[in-house]
Amino acid sequence: MCIDNLDGAPGILSARWAYKKNYNFAFDKIKKHLNDKGLNVNGQYAKFVCVLALIDQKKNEFVFKGTLKGKIVFPPKGKNGFGYDPIFVPLNLKKTLAQISPSMKNSLSHRKKALIKLLNHSLFKGLTLKNIL
Give the CATH number for residue 43. 3.90.950.10
pTM over the 0.75 mark? yes
Q: Write out the E strands in the chain.
A: 2-3, 45-55, 61-72, 88-90
| Res. 123: pLDDT tops 80 | no
Residues 59-68 have pLDDT tens digits of 999 999 999 9
Please give the pLDDT value at position 120: 85
Residue with the larger pLDDT of the pair 133 and 30? 30
Type of residue numbered 22: N
Q: How confident is the model at residue 126 (pLDDT cuts 50, 70, 90)?
A: low
Please give the pLDDT value at position 127: 62
Query: What's the mean pLDDT in 96-113?
Result: 95
Domain extent, residue 81, equals 2-132
By the 10 Å C-beta count (0-12 exposed, 13-18 middle, 19+ buried), 87 is classed as buried
Percent of the chain with pLDDT over 90: 77
- 43-55 burial string, b = 16+ CB within 10 Å, else e? ebebbbbbeeeee
Q: How confident is the model at residue 69 (pLDDT cuts 50, 70, 90)?
A: very high
Query: What's the mean pLDDT in 111-130?
Result: 80
Specify the number of domains making up the chain. Answer: 1
